[in-house]
Amino acid sequence: MKRRVVFVCERNSCRSQMAEALFREASKGQFEVASAGLNPAKEIDPNAILVMKEIGIDISSQRPKGTSEVNIVGSDVVVTVGLDMSTDSLVSAPYKIEWDIPDPTGAPIEVYRRTRDLIEARVNELVKQLSAEVRVKFRIRNLWLHYGERPALKNINLDIPANCIFAIIGPSGCGKSSLLRCLNRMNDLIPDAKVSGEVFLDGVNIYDKGIHPVELRRRVGMVFQKPNPFPMSIFDNVAYGPRIHGIKDKRLLSEIVEKALREAVLWDEVKDILHRPAFTLSGGQQQRLCIARALAVEPDVLLLDEPCSALDPASTLRIEELMLELKEHLTIVLVTHNMFQASRVADMTGFMLDGELIEVGSTSQIFENPRDERTDAFIRGRFG
Ligand SMILES: Nc1ncnc2c1ncn2[C@@H]1O[C@H](COP(=O)(O)OP(=O)(O)OP(=O)(O)O)[C@@H](O)[C@H]1O
Ligand SMILES: [Mg+2]
């Protein structure tokens, strides 16, 4: 889904329309864009048309719209252009930006030109910023988690980019699994667990009231330390999620199961025994089955909580290869105790200690050149 950007200004003003056209041009269709005035003029300002034409953009067919005509409430970014009013009073969009650009209405044409250039510079900056943010999968802000009175996560702030493997390391009990569970609201299921702060997935706060945890968990799948196949056949394990989401057609189910098992690199080993109970598989196979089960509902994100700790080196290697293939089309957050594993597969690594996120960086930086002495001590195996 494309993110939506709306520019809002006062009545009579052409600034939001210039901004809309310039943004559309600069962002090359990456975003939806609209503009509105609080009290729109009937016709678009001829001087604005003129100065935009000078740079090759025709806005003569744009029509000034009122704020009720463009869907401001559902927008991801709201930019007010020289509006003497806080955006908070307009909407609760995730991003609110205020541009202090004065109204050129009635001024000589040079002032229009200056206004246009000013808006163009701001628009280019904004497009650059938003394009970088599109690649952020999870944006975690001021996240706290308490079990009863005890804090398990203390003010976590973290951006997890899309299509990468992000490793979380740290000693036992530091909060790695707790953090993972915050990303698909598995903590909702733990009595006593209390979350505060914000977790944005593709710009939407997953703790908002409108978010349905079951749909969220379809998008953000999870695989645990110990393989936990359901007490049913291999086929039914993988078909479980799609069935819950209403897919009944046998052929379609078979296709989905085969695709997921192929993605999890298990198909060749099980294609002839699909109706055998899942627990007859080896530990490594069971773990790949659990990954296939998570993949069958086509998630955007996979949360893996020490997925290899119960596996032998050969199975571990297969799962690591699998992760590297999967990150082409999804984002993986991996909790691991195995430093070698983190350094082999992760693009980025975060080090946690006692509920705090101590340091985040590229995996090579964290392992070769940690900035914090506590990270250094942990990497060198002095504790944990
Ligand atoms: N359901 C729960 N109820 C109460 N406290 C909990 C619960 N789950 C975890 N905790 C506590 O929260 C803290 C963090 O636990 P968590 O399981 O997130 O750590 P971890 O880093 O995953 O550890 P490990 O590496 O051993 O898996 C620990 O002190 C733990 O005892
Ligand atoms: Mg854990």
Cα–Cα distance measured from residue 257 to residue 259, given in angstroms and rounded to the nearest whole number: 5
**C-alpha 177 – ligand 2 centre gap (Å):** 4
Contact 352, 169 (CB under 8 A): yes
Contact 347, 165 (CB under 8 A): yes
Cα–Cα distance measured from residue 272 to residue 205, given in angstroms and rounded to the nearest whole number: 43
Q: CA torsion 70→29→134→348, rounded to 10°? A: 180
Q: Say if domain 4-134 classifies as CATH 3.30.565.10.
A: no
- Pairing mode, strands 331-335 and 348-353: unpaired
The percentage of the chain sitting over the pLDDT mark of 70, rounded to a whole number, equals: 95
> In the chain, what is the greatest distance between 2 CA atoms, to the nearest angstrom?
81
- Per-chain residues with Cβ under 5 A from ion ligand 2: 177
Any atom of ligand 1 within 6 Å of the Cβ of 187: no
Q: What is the mean pLDDT of residues 47-67?
A: 93
Q: Is the pLDDT of residue 87 over 60?
A: no
Task: Tell which residue, 22, 28, 26, has the closest CA to residue 2.
Answer: 28
The confidence score (pLDDT) of residue 3 equals 79
- Name the residue at shortest CA distance from atom 26 of ligand 1: 172
Cα–Cα distance measured from residue 226 to residue 309, given in angstroms and rounded to the nearest whole number: 8
By three-state DSSP, how is residue 192 classified?
Answer: coil
**What's the mean pLDDT when you consider all of the chain?**
91
The confidence score (pLDDT) of residue 89 equals 59
109-139 residue pLDDT tens = 999 999 999 999 999 999 988 877 767 899 9
Atom of ligand 1 nearest to the CA of 175: 18
5-36 residue pLDDT tens = 999 888 767 999 999 999 999 998 888 999 99
Domain with CATH 3.40.50.2300 in the chain: 4-134
Q: CA torsion 81→86→88→91, rounded to 10°? A: -40
97 Cβ contact list (under 8 Å, min separation 6): 77, 78, 79, 80, 87, 126
Any atom of ligand 1 within 6 Å of the Cβ of 152: yes
Q: What is the mean pLDDT of residues 296-321?
A: 90
Any atom of ligand 1 within 6 Å of the Cβ of 289: no
Q: Is the pLDDT of residue 259 over 60?
A: yes
Q: Is the pLDDT of residue 175 over 80?
A: yes
**Pocket perturbation via mutation, ligand 1, pick of 146, 149, 169, 178 by most ligand atoms within 8 A of CB:** 178
The confidence score (pLDDT) of residue 382 equals 74
Cα–Cα distance measured from residue 380 to residue 341, given in angstroms and rounded to the nearest whole number: 15
Residue 236 burial (CB count, 10 A): 19
Q: What is the mean pLDDT of residues 144-161?
A: 96
**C-alpha 137 – ligand 2 centre gap (Å):** 22
C-alpha dist (Å) from residue 87 to 127, 203, 319: 20, 18, 47
Query: What region does 108 belong to: left with phi over 0, alpha with psi -120 to 50, or beta?
Result: beta
Q: Which helix (H) or strand (E) holds 313?
A: helix 313-326
pTM passes above 0.85: no
322-362 residue pLDDT tens = 999 999 889 999 999 888 899 999 999 999 999 999 999 99
CATH class of 162-189+204-379: alpha beta
Task: Tell which residue, 190, 186, 208, 198, has the closest CA to residue 150.
Answer: 190
Residue 243 pLDDT class (50, 70, 90 cuts): very high
Domain with CATH 3.40.50.300 in the chain: 162-189+204-379
